[in-house]
Amino acid sequence: MTKKLFFTMVILLFTVLKTFAIDDEFYEVLDNEIKREFAALQKVDSNLYFLEYRIESAKAYYINASFGYITNCFENKNAHCTIAMRYGNHEFDNTHLIKGEQQKTFTRSFLLPVNSNEGIQQQLWRNVSQLYEQVKSDYTQLKNKLKAQQKDIHNDFSKETTYNYFEPLDDIEFSQAEQQKWKNRLEKYSEPFKESDKITVGNTGLVYWFKRMYYLNSDGSRIVQNSRNTSFSINGSIKSDDGNDTPFYKNFIAQSINDLPNDEALMEASVMVKDMLLKLNEAPVADPYAGPVIMAPEAAGVFFHEIFGHRLEGHRLKDENDGNTFKTMLNKNVLPKSFSIYFDPTIQFFNDTFLNGYYLYDDEGVKARRVDIVENGTLKTFLMNRTPVPGLSQSNGHGRASAGRSTVSRQSNMFIESNKPVLEDKLKSIMLKECKKQKKDYGYYVKSVSGGFTNGGRYTPNAFNVTPTEVYRVYVDGRPDELVRGVNFIGTPLAMFSEIAAAGNTKDIFNGFCGAESGWVPVATVSPSIYIKKVETQRKALKFAQPIILPAPQAINE
């Protein structure tokens, strides 16, 4: 019993040391400066109630190859600082949203000259001083405007627990020899695209970065985290005889470069992309269609992220210009009862694969946590940052932004679950049965999706558009599945969610980077296959173009 307690104490002591042992000169300068600046401002103006520094000290390597040769190779190092300031109080401050107007900017972003303490101090001082003048003036204007309209009853900024967390430096090494090895590999992986004159894009790319992220605020939070990421992409495009371009991609994301698939697997992936381009070139252009569709797990992940996930981002509920699809749907059914969805940024791996939406503290210094969004089909909450919305006054650790942007609520790792999973083959037979019922010759099986967009505003149709890259017709009469090209999925979200009917029994991961108003953030979705009773498709916009006139030059040499 005593031993167990001692062991527990040792663990506790170690944790405390890990959390508070700070040996980082850069951090010391930031810590001293934020204390000095906030104290100086507060001394003369107590309305200034919050100051925040967010710094990404990043080192990134980029290598790109095309058709068997390196096109680009460089590295970049910098320390990007974003400061945020709030004037007034938590109930009403300079960020307050006035009906019909854009939110006032409350951040500034700039580079810090690393290894010069004076330079860092000067930049912080200059920018904090200028931002102070701006937020003070914005606050006065807002206050005057507010007299003319009813104040939103919800606070502008939530009060949160402060955290102290410090990870020791865990830099990446990417030696010249290692870089050369990857250059050779990237050249090799892009070589297969030379096979056809019609392939106009045959690129492979590697991005490997390390970020040391510092978060400090005037409430007392001090967080220093490491983040590393590797993404490897294969990107091809073929020009068909009708002159149109058809792209196909494959991406791999891992935490460390050593966690990427091995040489053989990456080569196979590259050949697969090339083969798919050649098949797509021969594939017929799909006609407009409305009927049953199955989405493979990865495609379903993108689909859910785009059309469902963005509408769960809580800060949007405050925006009068947003469509607010789910504003009145709390505690109501939004999906079939068998479906549940949660977000959990603290989960690092799924089936040994790294999840790109992993983090421990968000970009507002709030501890990351699991958020059960949909339980048995019922919407339970939203993803929250420190912007309170009706019924939700606290952050749940989803305030995110890329360097230089203001934080808003964003997605992390999304998990889609069904308590009535169906065998994949069974899912297909359900779809074919529905096809017969709807008098369709075929249903669609979507294997991969390149991305898409969703309009959430009020002044444009509240619609989505998703672009699949690998789509098959699955025929009712038993003919082999047929690859088609030029399909776009379109629709309105609520109508679409009501058509989701079942989920498969195997899950897969979509890892990617999501772009929105707060910049690009890493995200992941773990999803099963999804069967949707009715989806509408339209033909992809086709450019009037002509095929390539002369054969590729290397064909002449051979």
Partner 1 sequence: MIRNKISFILIFILLVSTVINAQYSETIMKAMNDELARNKEDLVFKDFEKPFFIAYSLFDLKLNRYSSSLGGVYQFTNEKRKQGYARVMIGDYKLTDENFQDQTNRYQHNDGSIALPYEDNYDGIRRHFWLATNNVYKNASESYRNKNAALKQQNMSIDELPAPDFTQEKPREYIIKEQPLQKSNIDLGELSQLLSAEFKAYSDIVESFVNIIETDMYRYYLNTEGTKIAVPEQRIHFEIVASTYNKSNEVVSEGLYFDAQDKDHLLPIDSLKNYLHTFAGKLLKMAKLDNWEDSYSGPVLFENQAIYRLLLYRSFVKGNGFIASREPLIKTKNNGVLLANNNTLEKRMDKRVASKNVFIYDIPCVKNYKGIDLFGYYAIDYQGVIPVDTLPLVDSGVLRSLLTDRIPIKTIQKSNGHCRTSNNNGQIFKGIGPGNVFFKCSDNKSDKELRSKLCELADDEGLDYAMVIRPAVKGSLLSPIEYFKVDLQTGEETQVYGVNTSKIGIQSLKDVVAASNQEEVLNVYHNYHYGNRQYAETPASFIYPDILLLEDVELTGNNKPIKKNPPIIPNPLKK
Q: Which residues sit at the interface with partner 1, rule CB under 8 A?
A: 33, 36-37, 40-41, 44-45, 64, 66-78, 111-123, 125-126, 128-129, 132-133, 194, 200-201, 203, 546, 548-550, 552-554, 556-557
Smallest gap, in angstroms, from Cβ of residue 460 to partner 1? 26
Smallest gap, in angstroms, from Cβ of residue 75 to partner 1? 8
Select 139 or 489, whichever has its Cβ closest to partner 1: 139
SS (H, E, C) 23-70: CCHHHHHHHHHHHHHHHHHHHHCCCEEEEEEEEEEEEEEEEEEECCEE
Smallest gap, in angstroms, from Cβ of residue 144 to partner 1? 19
3-class DSSP state of 130: helix
> What do you get for the CA distance between the two ends of the chain, in Å?
78
The structure tokens listed for 371 are 């958020």
Select 42 or 450, whichever has its Cβ closest to partner 1: 42
Select 202 or 323, whichever has its Cβ closest to partner 1: 202
Select 19 or 134, whichever has its Cβ closest to partner 1: 134
d(CA 138, CA 136): 6
Smallest gap, in angstroms, from Cβ of residue 77 to partner 1? 7
User: Is residue 48 a contact partner of residue 41, using CB atoms and an 8 Å limit?
Assistant: yes
Select 42 or 89, whichever has its Cβ closest to partner 1: 42
Residue 243, Ramachandran bin (φ over 0: left; ψ between -120 and 50: alpha; else beta): left
Select 44 or 177, whichever has its Cβ closest to partner 1: 44
Smallest gap, in angstroms, from Cβ of residue 510 to partner 1? 27
Select 119 or 451, whichever has its Cβ closest to partner 1: 119
In sequence order, the β-bridge partners of residue 533 are none
Number of Cβ within a 10 Å radius of residue 5: 9
Select 98 or 114, whichever has its Cβ closest to partner 1: 114
d(CA 473, CA 469): 13
Residue (of 205, 251, 255) closest to 229 by Cα position:
255
Smallest gap, in angstroms, from Cβ of residue 53 to partner 1? 14
User: Is residue 253 a contact partner of residue 512, using CB atoms and an 8 Å limit?
Assistant: yes
d(CA 418, CA 68): 44
3-class DSSP state of 180: helix
In 312-448, where does DSSP find H-type helix? 424-437
Smallest gap, in angstroms, from Cβ of residue 333 to partner 1? 48
Select 76 or 438, whichever has its Cβ closest to partner 1: 76
Smallest gap, in angstroms, from Cβ of residue 338 to partner 1? 47
3-class DSSP state of 278: helix
Smallest gap, in angstroms, from Cβ of residue 171 to partner 1? 16
Q: Cα–Cα distances in Å, from 33 out to 20, 30, 133, 162, 218?
A: 19, 5, 18, 19, 11
